[in-house]
Amino acid sequence: MGLYDKYARLAGERLQFSDNGLTPFGTCIDEVYSATEGRIGNKKVILAGTNNYLGLTFNHDAISEGQAALAAQGTGTTGSRMANGSYAPHLALEKEIAEFFNRPTAIVFSTGYTANLGVISALADHNAVVLLDADSHASIYDACSLGGAEIIRFRHNDAKDLERRMVRLGERAKEAIIIVEGIYSMLGDVAPLAEIVDIKRRLGGYLIVDEAHSFGVLGATGRGLAEAVGVEDDVDIIVGTFSKSLASIGGFAVGSEAMEVLRYGSRPYIFTASPSPSCIATVRSSLRKLLPHNQSCGKS
């Protein structure tokens, strides 16, 4: 059996697309003009497939601060924070993210995917049981698999189904980890978070909310769905990304002071090169746009 034989059907479909001049996952954007417009070939197009929710990719302040960091600190860190230390801006960003979410601790990761992978895989080990929404992002599924947890799926956005499965766990429900997303990327619908929190209050467990698509979008200050429905105190860990509303790259998790131990137990955090200085600078600049005294977005 060949190395790629298991993908034979997929390879055939790819060739069919290619023979018809189509590349569904290989569209080349020849030029980007702004947060919303670009060029493919000779055609000017609207960039409708992005997650650039606040239009900050061409924000003047973010670009200037990113360029300054690039010139001052170089193109990359070339190593993990455990191996070659944290740059001062890494620590500054973590402090700012923690303060923004009113949490004691924040950990910054190199990507949003790595944030989920790093946090969940470290907590959802072979002794853990995880209840997750059936429509959860691939990074959440991969994290649970990497950690070796028992995975129980409940129907998408069905709080009653979650409750039934929690009840079946009996006493184990008190230690179960519930994982949902603020806004689901495929359909754009929101989790019934108030109902899920009610279940957690009655039956126990820990709650992780991935606010990747809701950070900067929902809530009075942009902290996401948990803020919007008034249940932030009931969420144990919030995970998010910098590659959507904040228009850069990277991820984060915020939680209690006890979460600091994950710096020593999360392999994706320990063994991944830290975010580049320019990325950190643009994130910090964009984050300031969410603060109450500065609500401006876009190219200003």
Percent of the chain with pLDDT over 90: 90
Q: What pLDDT, on a 0 to 100 scale, did the predictor assign at position 296?
A: 44
Q: What whole-number distance in Å separates Cα of residue 66 and Cα of residue 246?
A: 13
pLDDT tens readout for residues 76-133: 999 999 999 999 999 999 999 999 999 999 999 999 999 999 999 999 999 999 999 9
Q: What is the pLDDT of residue 205?
A: 98
In the predicted model, is pLDDT for residue 177 greater than 70? yes
Catalytic option among 137, 200, 213, 289: 213
Give the span between the Cα atoms of 5 and 223, in whole angstroms: 45
pLDDT attached to residue 56: 97
Chain-centroid distance of CA 221 in Å reads 18
Q: 164-168 — which CB contacts under 8 Å span 24+ positions?
A: 165/131, 166/131, 166/199, 166/203, 166/205, 167/203
Domain segments of the chain: what residues? 5-46, 60-288
Residue 26 pLDDT grade (very low, low, confident, very high; cuts 50, 70, 90): confident
For residues 105 and 253, give the distance between their C-alpha atoms in angstroms, rounded to a whole number: 8
**How high is the pLDDT of residue 297?**
42
Longest Cα–Cα distance of the chain, Å, equals: 63
Active-site residue flag, 43: no
Q: Tokens representing 206?
A: 């820990």
Q: What is the residue type of 228?
A: A
Residue by residue, DSSP assigns 225-237 as HHHHTT-GGG-SE
Among candidate residues 137, 200, 244, 289, the one labeled active-site is 244
Q: What is the pLDDT of residue 19?
A: 86
pLDDT at residue 30 in the model: 96
Q: Where are the alpha helices (DSSP H) in the chain?
A: 8-19, 60-73, 81-84, 88-100, 112-123, 138-147, 159-169, 193-203, 225-228, 262-265, 267-270, 277-288
Spot the catalytic one: 185, 256, 296, 300. 185
Cα gap 68→131, rounded to integer Å = 44
pLDDT the model gives residue 300: 39
Instruction: Say whether 213 is catalytic.
Output: yes
Query: What are the backbone dihedrals phi and psi of residue 38, each rounded to the nearest 5 degrees, phi first?
Result: -155, -170
Identify whether 126 is a catalytic site residue: no
Tell me the pLDDT tens digit for each residue of 210-262: 999 999 999 999 999 999 999 999 999 999 999 999 999 999 999 999 999 99
Look at the domain 60-288 and name its fold.
Aspartate Aminotransferase; domain 2 (3.40.640)
Q: Where residue 49 falls among pLDDT bands split at 50, 70, 90?
A: confident
